[in-house]
A and B are shown apart, each in its own frame.
Chain A
Amino acid sequence: MLPLRNGAWKWLAVAGMMMAILSGCEPVKMGVLNPKGPVAQKQYDLIIWSVVLMSVILIVVFVLFVVILVRFRASKLSKDYEPPDVEGNTFLEIVWTAIPVLIVVALAVPTVTSTFDLEKSPSPNKKPITIEATSAQWKWIFKYPEQGIETVNYLKIPANVPVRFKLSSHDAMNSFWIPELGGQEYTMADMPMFLWLEADKPGKFIGRGNNFSGRDFAKMEFTVEAKKQSDFDSWVDHVKKTAPKQSEKEYKALLKPGTVDLKTYSSYPKSAEVKEPNHGGMEHGGMDMDHSKMKHEDMEGMEDMPGMDHDKN
């Protein structure tokens, strides 16, 4: 009876897990299964589709597994039962090669289309805002180049507006992740990258550094608040009027390893802007790997965008 119980037990556990995942909101109140924007929603749909496909495989194999174990246990068979001397079955083997192929195709197609979609603005008709998110040991620095302000360890974005995050790192590699708004991307010192996110409605979320970066990595959590555009604008005005300017010295001090509290600045020094590194010396290095080249082009497009002038009042 033992292996049957094994199978049955596992069966229950997995059924429970699948139910928990499929029911989405109940046991899992936050995170990936609680999408609050178009990017997270797209990824959520893909995840659910993959769970459905995988459940088919799980159910088929688990049923076969339990049935075979129950049916062909030595203790259940007559003493003189001799297993047949078979070597295989070409037809069956083709069947269970072909079915996984179909399942893989069924998952690969939406995977590829989503991969390309996520490179673009989730709402191409709306004017996006750009925010530079920089990780340093062990804090997050958010610069708003269009507004000229800077926050540390908290982020405010306008709701219903696509946000183009320019991700970079001062030192160790990290990863910028706000599960409710969408998937993450790495922050790296030698290759700034872009990530599109958008919040449907005003709300509060938790974001975090998601790639291990040293001692106080666990503390690299930040709050995200999506505000109505008008509220966001008045917050920006408020910051500009009340928050201190950031000196070059202060910025350098901020980058030193350590944890800091929430901070707000009405400006940041020019030297703090995220720049494209130049590895080649005199001439611009052209031997980067393919993907970084792709991002270089992205980057050049970026410079032509309106609203990039740094407003330093």
Chain B
Amino acid sequence: MASSSVPKGTPNFPEYQTEEGRLKIFGFWVFLAAEVVLFSTLFATYLVLADRTAGGPTGKELFEVKDFMIETMLLLTSSFTCGLAVLEMRKGNKKGVFIWMIATLAMGLGFLGMEISEFVAYVHEGATLQTSAFLSGFFVLVGTHGAHVTLGVVWISLVLTQVAKRGLTPMTCRKLFIGGLYWHFLDVVWIFIFTAVYLTGLI
């Protein structure tokens, strides 16, 4: 394994080894800044519309504490396992990367499954995108996050197939690392959704 050739105590960052890798990681941080603006706009819109329920159901009537707590735990834990995967990557431990990343993806899929069933339940209760401005804001904000998570799952799975084929090279490591950044970012966004949408909605 690659880690054996690294002197002890020296951090090994394979993802930063090439000029291209450094540029892409930096560029991805910049892209995340744009994503922050994107989600901020969605949050601002949601907060402006949150009380405009137009006689339809309110958040208090819809949100199930147990469900969104489980969703939150799944996503938070997956962020942790994703971090472990990146640490294993730096150790050059391909097997560790796979174990932790697959755990991450499984929890991501669990989160998505719960979110979809949550949405389906709301629709059955007559709370749809078309019901009120509040629900338009809710579905688009939470749905955009869900779409991002879906994209993250697909993306990281594809990177894993590349790792399986090519091993932990500077390039696959860079891709894994960026996938990890993205995953952590989605976790942070979820914390804001958890606070601004679900917890606030209960009050």
Contact = CB atoms under 8 A, between A and B. Distances in A.
B47 interface: yes
A289 interface: yes
A279 B133 contact: yes
Contact of A281 (B47, B48, B50, B53): B53
B52 A280 contact: yes
Contacts of B49: 287
A90 to B, nearest CB: 35
Instruction: Name the interface size band of chain B.
Output: 10 to 19
B52 A285 contact: yes
A287 B133 contact: no
Instruction: Name the interface size band of chain A.
Output: under 10
A2 interface: no
A289 B48 contact: yes
A188 to B, nearest CB: 15
A287 B54 contact: no
A287 B48 contact: yes
A282 interface: yes
B201 interface: no
Contact of A282 (B48, B50, B55): B55
Interface in B77-108: none
B51 interface: yes
B56 interface: yes
Contacts of A286: 51
A285 B48 CA distance: 10
Nearest to B133: A279
A313 to B, nearest CB: 37
A281 B133 contact: no
A279 B51 contact: yes
B53 A287 contact: no
Contacts of A279: 51-54, 133
Interface of A: 279-282, 285-287, 289
Given A280-B53, A285-B51, 9 more contacts: A279-B51, A279-B52, A279-B133, A280-B51, A282-B55, A285-B52, A287-B48, A287-B50, A287-B51
